[in-house]
Amino acid sequence: MITDYSQRLIVQEVAPRDGLQIEPKWVETADKIALIDELSLAGFSRIEAGSFVSPKAIPALRDGDEVFRGIQRQPGVIYVALIPNLKGAQRALDAGADELNLVMSASQTHNLANMRMRREQSLSGFGEIVALVRETSRETSRESSRETPVSLNGTVATTFGCPFEGVIDEDLVLQIVDAYLELGMQGITLADTTGMANPRQVYRLVQRVLAKVSPGQLTLHFHNTRGLGLSNVLAAYEAGARRFDASLGGLGGCPFAPGASGNICTEDLVNLCEEMGIATGIDLPHLLRMSRRLPALLGHEMPGQVAKAGRNSDLHPAPENLPA
C-alpha cells in the first residue's frame, strides 16, 4: 500500500455543537458566538455551530437560534446545524444554517435512546426534511437572498460499534448510506459515536463506502474514547477518506451513550498532519491559543495533548551547567 500524503486533509470543527452539548456548565450565548467567530478565522471550511433539538433533551444548546443569528459569517465557511426532526429543520433554516446534519444510528437500540424512534421512523422523517429544504431552496433562489442552496448531510451514528448492541453489521451501514443517497443527501458522515472503531475495521469500511460516494462527500467522525482516534484517522486517510470532524480541545461526547468521551482533538489532529507533511490549511498556533483558554471558560482541563506539551518545534533552553 502506497499512500499519497500530499493530498489535503479537510478538518471540520464540531466543538460549538458536539463539544459543548454535554458540558455541565452553561456557556453564555455571547461566549458561544465569540468561540465560533474566532474559529471562523482559523481556516476551517465547515463549523458545526449548534443544534436545534429539544431544549429539554440538550439544554446546553437551547440558544441555537440566537447563536446562528449572532455569528459573523466568513466567506467560504459553511455553518452547519444538527437537527433531529422537521421542527428543528425549520428553525435551522429560519436561523440561516448553511447545511443541515441529519443523524440516525445504525444501532436500533441507540436510535431509540438518542432519537426516541426506530430507524425506519427516522428515515421517514428525513424525507419530509428533504422536501422542506428543497422547497426553501427554491424560494430563496427566486428571491436571490442566498447564493447557494442549503445542503444536507446524513450521519450514520454508531457506525463502528454500539455500547448496547456491540458489533454493527457493515452491510447495514451500507444500506443506510444508500438510503441517504436515495433521499438526495449530498454528504455522508460515518460516526464512531463511542470510540469503538479500530484501524483495520475503519480501512475496510471506508473503502466500501467510497465505492458509493466521492472523497468530497464522505466525512469521518471519530471519538478518542479508547485512545485510537488519531490511528483511525490515518487508517481512513490511507483508505481514501479526506474529510474529518474534530473538536477543539478534544471536547465532546454523546449524552445518550455510556462512556462516550470526547471527540478527536482538533489541534492534535492538525499537529499530526503537520508532522507528516499533510496539508490542512488550519492555523495551528491560533488553535493552540484558543484551546489553552478553554479551561477558564468551561472550568476543567481539556483532554487534548499538544496544547499541554507544545509542538515538537517548541524547543526549550538547554539545562545550565551541562558537562563539557
SS3 231: helix
The single residue of 162, 254, 265, 273 carrying the catalytic annotation is: 254
Give the count of alpha carbons within 13 A of 165, CB side only.
18
Which residues are CB-neighbours of 26 under 8 A, at least 6 positions away?
60
Closest CA to 83 of 96, 100, 66: 100
H-type helices in the chain, by residue range?
29-39, 64-70, 86-95, 108-115, 119-143, 170-183, 199-209, 229-238, 266-276, 284-298, 306-309
Q: Which three cell numbers stand for residue 303?
A: 483532554
Q: Residue 162: beta bridge partners?
A: 166
For the beta carbon of residue 258, count every other beta carbon within 10 angstroms. Answer: 9
* Distance (Å, whole) CA 90 – CA 184: 18
Q: Please, are residues 79 and 52 in contact by the beta-carbon 8 Å criterion?
A: no
Question: Among candidates 235, 240, 246, which has minimal Cα distance to 217?
Answer: 240
Instruction: Indicate if 254 belongs to the active site.
Output: yes
Distance CA 245, CA 18 (A): 10
Amino acid (1-letter code) at residue 310: G
What positions carry a catalytic annotation? 254
